Amino acid sequence: MTLGTSCVKSLGTYLVKPTLFRLSFPDVKENIFNIINHSNFINTSIEKSNVLDLYSGIGSFGIECLSRGVRKVIFVENYNKVLPILKNNLAHLKSNIN
């Protein structure tokens, strides 16, 4: 199962104004997963993998990875205006899992 808009809303995921940074649009994320899963050049599976989410922003890509069965995601973000939102989103995700 992957995260859709309604699922993300139910997790209490917070967003910020897109003018502050670039969002990873759902089509872009879906294309990344399609390349990983269906490429003849990459012989790997996303399930049980470790993911490094550089420039995490609000964490939407890493959270999507977790919803697709990734074992571990490391979120890296240093933009101080978005860090509290990322931390809040991860806290909401953790509370909904437990």
The structure tokens listed for 27 are 């089509």
- Expressed as residue numbers, the domain containing 78 is 5-35+46-97
Residue 40 belongs to some domain of the structure: no
Which residues in 1-98 belong to E strands, given as ranges? 50-54, 72-76
Q: Is the pLDDT of residue 41 over 90?
A: no
Q: What pLDDT does 50 receive?
A: 95
Q: What pLDDT does 91 receive?
A: 93
Residue 28 belongs to some domain of the structure: yes
Handedness of CA 82, 88, 91, 97 (dihedral sign): negative
The CATH number of the domain holding residue 88 is 3.40.50.150
47 contacts: CB under 8 Å, gap ≥ 6 = 68, 69, 70
Global pTM value: 0.72
Residue 19 belongs to some domain of the structure: yes
Number of domains within the chain? 1
Q: What pLDDT does 5 receive?
A: 47
Give residue 22's pLDDT band: very low, low, confident or very high (50, 70, 90).
low
Q: What gap in Å lies between CA 73 and CA 49, rounded to an integer?
A: 9
Q: What gap in Å lies between CA 29 and CA 37, rounded to an integer?
A: 12
Residue 80 belongs to some domain of the structure: yes
Residues 53-71 pLDDT 10s: 999 999 999 999 999 999 9
Residue 52 belongs to some domain of the structure: yes
Residue 77 belongs to some domain of the structure: yes
